[in-house]
Structure 1
Amino acid sequence: MDSPLVSVIITSMGKEILKKSIKSVLEQTYKNIEIIVVVDNNLLFTDSITKNVKVISACEAHNANKSRNIGIEEAKGEYIALLDDDDLWLPDKIKIQVEQMQSVHKEGHYFSYVQTALMKNGVINRHVYPKQGIKKNEKILNYFFGHSKGFIQCSSFFGDLELFTINKFNEEVIKHQDWDWLINAQKLPDLNIDFVPQILTYYTVNSVGTSVGTKQRWRYSEQWFDNYKDTVTEYAKSNFYSKVILRSLLYDNSLTTTEKKIEIKRVLKNISIRHSFTYFKSLVKIILFFSKSENNIN
């Protein structure tokens, strides 16, 4: 088997945490790799680890999708792999994805993703996501929020350059960017989605509101989801409202308690009582939140 060049695109704010992600790429057992780091402005540190890395300024883009597109345009590789600067790869990640691609890919565009372990405050969670791959003809949002309980995170993305070129990241999307890309990619008639059932990525989980991806943009999430609500099952819709919108709404400090309660009642109407477990979990989530808030006041 040949060893095609893989372009690794890392998007970053330029902080020192980037060094760990670069190190995890440099330690890959697959060596035919070019590393392109797209920073929001400039690197905020100096270190020899960047000597073999192409660093590009996104001119204060403040937009991960724009940064990804810039990196993809600069890529020389036959294949693209994406990595966020607070995530890490295990050493065989690219090697295994290349080998899997070469063993199963016949024609059309190829995309693969791997199992991911969650990492918080440097501690690796023993739980692994996802447990199973996406089924043929299963819609992305149904895979994520339906009974499959799927999970595809950007730092596990791997695919051919042309796929990322014709299906660019939508720079107007400010949240759920990887989900949005996947939904659009799935519209391509010749896309092959492949799942590698091995833990090869560590994904950093941030507390609600502590990073760009977790800020309380629940109104935007609802507007974004409205574009795709006709493609999902009622069960997936209920889970989306419970896990994404309600979770973020509860921590929206811009709302008064009265405003928050009004919005919660409205959101609950989108969580079907027919799916009793999801509905009950949502109620428990609300009760615990307000109970904790009252205790903090007292």
Structure 2
Amino acid sequence: MTKLIKKDAQPLVSIITPLYNAAPFIAQTIASVQDQTYQNWEQIIVDDCSTDSSVDVVKALAGFDNRIKLITLSRNSGAAQTRNIATEAAQGNFIAFLDSDDLWHPKKLDKQIAFMQETGCDVSYTSYVHIDESGKPLGKRIVALPKLTYKKQHSNNYVGNLTGIYNVTSIGKISAPDVRKRQDWALWLDAIKKSEKPALGLQEDLAFYRVREGSMSSNKLNLVEYNYQFYKTCLGYSHVAATLYLVRFFWEYFVMRPKWIQRYDV
């Protein structure tokens, strides 16, 4: 069993949160960070020109907690740039990611940082479950692979971005490529490469991914193009090589990946 870290031994964790029109969810997301048993954190929220009351909600909460830091952009820049801007501002020994509508288990940071310190890994991630817009479980669990090599991650993204943490002290800060989709896949692949050892998975449900109606992730047909562009644009492969790797991606996605997805009654 993973031991929890004593408060006086806690390194700083920077939590990266891009924000865009998430007024119904952002307060609950921040609350899930404030409820962490691990208290040495900063949450850097970068607003990408929201047109709803998201910024007002964050400002109100930040007024009572100086660990919440808000950056507002003057023009809409996309998820990759907002994450990169937050990463540049981060002061932590570790960097974690939490989107503005997702949630964490109260012991996520405590357990995961302890896990990384005990195993010596530079990149870690956990299992997580899907919830609906109201926060109710959807009966779907994504189980973390115990070990994730560069080759395995190259064929499919096995790191749920809301669960991933990397050690800045060991591998430095990592920027995501400025692409519309799959920038998180590229970031975690780069993190594993720089660590020069596999990422490790903690097989506990420590995060909650909110599935929103009409979200980009829900349109699977569009992901064919995004996955091709991952190999072509992010990794710089030729058209032929990108196509061949895309075929390998489909094998991994439809044959291997489902072994790590569990369905359960709710």
User: Kindly, what percent of the aligned residue pairs are identical?
Assistant: 24
User: Is 1:199 the counterpart of 2:205 in the alignment?
Assistant: yes
**Residue of structure 1 equivalent to 2:111:** 96
Deviation string 1:162-213 (CA, Å, 9 cap, x unpaired) is 5674431112x11111112122233326344121110000011234xx2344
Q: Secondary structure at the match of 1:97?
A: helix
Residues 132 and 210 in structure 2, CA contact (< 8 A), matched pair in contact too: yes
The count of corresponding residues between Structure 1 and Structure 2 is 231
Distance in 1, Cα, partners of 2:94 & 2:148: 24
**Residue of structure 2 equivalent to 1:269:** none
**Residue of structure 2 equivalent to 1:127:** 140
Residues 228 and 246 in structure 2, CA contact (< 8 A), matched pair in contact too: no
Alignment partner of 2:167 out of 160, 167, 171: 160
Deviation string 1:80-114 (CA, Å, 9 cap, x unpaired) is 111001110010000001111111117xxx11101
Larger radius of gyration: 1
The residue correspondences of 1:4-23 to structure 2 (distance < 5 A) are 4-16=11-23, 17-23=25-31
Alignment partner of 1:142 out of 146, 155, 163: 155
Q: Secondary structure at the match of 2:193?
A: coil
The residue correspondences of 1:32-43 to structure 2 (distance < 5 A) are 32-41=40-49
**Residue of structure 2 equivalent to 1:26:** 34
**How far is 1:214 from its partner?**
4.6
Alignment CA distance shift 1:189-1:198 (3 Å):
closer
Residues 72 and 164 in structure 1, CA contact (< 8 A), matched pair in contact too: no
User: Is 1:55 the counterpart of 2:57 in the alignment?
Assistant: no
User: Is 1:211 the counterpart of 2:215 in the alignment?
Assistant: yes
Alignment CA distance shift 1:96-1:189 (3 Å):
closer
Deviation string 1:134-186 (CA, Å, 9 cap, x unpaired) is 34454214355xxxxxx321111111225674431112x11111112122233
What amino acid sits opposite 1:99 in the alignment?
A
Alignment CA distance shift 1:58-1:217 (3 Å):
farther
Residues 171 and 194 in structure 2, CA contact (< 8 A), matched pair in contact too: no
Q: Secondary structure at the match of 2:98?
A: strand
**Residue of structure 2 equivalent to 1:84:** 99
Deviation string 1:189-240 (CA, Å, 9 cap, x unpaired) is 6344121110000011234xx2344564643443334547488595543455
User: Is 1:112 the counterpart of 2:112 in the alignment?
Assistant: no
User: Is 1:44 the counterpart of 2:53 in the alignment?
Assistant: yes
Deviation string 1:6-54 (CA, Å, 9 cap, x unpaired) is 1111111143121111010000000111111111025724343232221
**Residue of structure 1 equivalent to 2:262:** none
Residues 155 and 252 in structure 2, CA contact (< 8 A), matched pair in contact too: no
What amino acid sits opposite 2:199 in the alignment?
I
Unaligned runs of 5+ in 1: 145-150, 244-274, 279-298
Residues 115 and 197 in structure 1, CA contact (< 8 A), matched pair in contact too: yes
Distance in 2, Cα, partners of 1:214 & 1:3: 37
TM-score normalised to structure 1 length: 0.67
Alignment CA distance shift 1:219-1:137 (3 Å):
closer
Alignment CA distance shift 1:196-1:239 (3 Å):
closer
CA RMSD, aligned part only?
2.9
Distance in 1, Cα, partners of 2:19 & 2:94: 20
Residues 166 and 191 in structure 2, CA contact (< 8 A), matched pair in contact too: no
**Residue of structure 2 equivalent to 1:267:** none
**Residue of structure 1 equivalent to 2:187:** 181
The structure showing larger relative contact order (alpha-carbon pairs under 8 Å, at least 6 residues apart) is 2
Distance in 2, Cα, partners of 1:90 & 1:186: 25
**How far is 1:61 from its partner?**
3.1
